[in-house]
């Protein structure tokens, strides 16, 4: 369960952001809901309720914050200019851990990622969004996303989205992500609920691990 939550965070939120035209600095709020055909899993999802994620952005830097009982506190800081990222995790099971890495863009972006243009559009928070259908082959399984993107907010590279960020044509304001693990089916819906234009302190984007955090082994 925890692995699923982290996976959904990485794939649906790591299109970290660099707003262009109207907004160059501010905060985006996103909500996620989880669904499953498995009764026991769905009961756990129901206990979690909606998961709200806050993303701070400034130029080519971004910071994503999420907190829930399953994964604990997760922070992902990305600087697409220096091509570096820092992930911070804090939960009772593993304590305070960090992972710092360079963002490597694969030479061949088409190996396991397929993107198709959809025929539908949505207007979300005043932004007209185009439909994209993205399929990722991961560990022998397909992860399918139906995404609505706006070209007014452009994605910045992260290690998790390096294969497809520049092919989305903008930032996803609404995503339906489906996957299968054995006989269990999962649907994760992510929707941006607020975009705020405000000044963000540079300290939010520091790539130096905070005091008390230790390096995550094996990563």
Domains and their CATH numbers in the chain = 2-196 (2.50.20)
For residue 10, give the H/E element and its range.
Answer: helix 2-13
Average pLDDT over residues 115-121: 90
15 confidence band (pLDDT: 50, 70, 90): very low
Q: Tell whether the model's pLDDT for residue 84 goes beyond 60.
A: yes
In angstroms, the CA 154 to CA 74 distance is 23
Smallest Cα–Cα separation from 16: which of 68, 53, 52?
53
Q: In the structure, what pLDDT confidence band is assigned to residue 123 with cuts at 50, 70 and 90?
A: very high
Angle at 185 between CA 183 and CA 186, to 5 degrees: 150
* pLDDT higher than threshold 60 for residue 211: yes
Between 149 and 112, residue with greater pLDDT:
149
Tokens representing 174 are 């609404």
Cα–Cα separations (whole angstroms), residue 131 to 27, 117, 164, 173: 23, 6, 15, 10
What pLDDT, on a 0 to 100 scale, did the predictor assign at position 166? 60
**Closest of 147, 137, 148 to residue 180, by C-alpha:** 137
108-117, 135-144, 208-217: which range is least confident on average?
Answer: 108-117
Distance in angstroms (rounded) separating the CA atoms of residues 11 and 72: 18
pLDDT band at 65 (very low <50, low <70, confident <90, very high): very high
Average pLDDT across the chain, whole number: 80
Residues in the chain, how many?
A: 219
Calculate mean pLDDT across residues 93-110.
75
Give the DSSP H/E element, type plus range, for residue 156: none
Q: Judge whether residue 54 has pLDDT over 50.
A: yes
Residue 16 confidence class, pLDDT cut points 50, 70, 90: very low
């Amino acid at each position: 369960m925890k692995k699923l939550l982290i996976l959904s965070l990485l794939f649906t939120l790591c299109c970290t952001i660099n707003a262009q035209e109207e907004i160059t600095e501010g905060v985006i709020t996103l909500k996620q809901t989880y669904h499953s055909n498995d009764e026991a899993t769905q009961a756990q999802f129901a206990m979690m309720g909606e998961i709200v994620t806050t993303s701070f952005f400034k130029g080519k830097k971004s910071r994503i914050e999420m907190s829930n009982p399953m994964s604990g506190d997760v922070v992902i800081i990305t600087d697409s200019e220096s091509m570096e990222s820092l992930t911070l995790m804090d939960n009772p099971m593993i304590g305070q851990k960090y992972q710092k890495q360079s963002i490597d863009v694969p030479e061949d972006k088409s190996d396991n990622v397929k993107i198709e243009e959809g025929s539908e559009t949505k207007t979300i928070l005043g932004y007209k969004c185009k439909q994209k259908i993205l399929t990722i082959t991961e560990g022998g399984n397909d992860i399918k996303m139906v995404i609505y993107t706006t070209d007014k907010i452009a994605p910045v590279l992260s290690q998790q989205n390096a294969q497809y960020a520049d092919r989305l044509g903008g930032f996803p304001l609404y995503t339906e992500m489906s996957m299968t693990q054995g006989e269990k089916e999962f649907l994760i819906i992510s929707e941006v609920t607020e975009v705020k234009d405000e000044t963000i302190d540079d300290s939010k984007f520091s790539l130096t691990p905070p005091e008390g955090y230790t390096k995550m082994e094996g990563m």
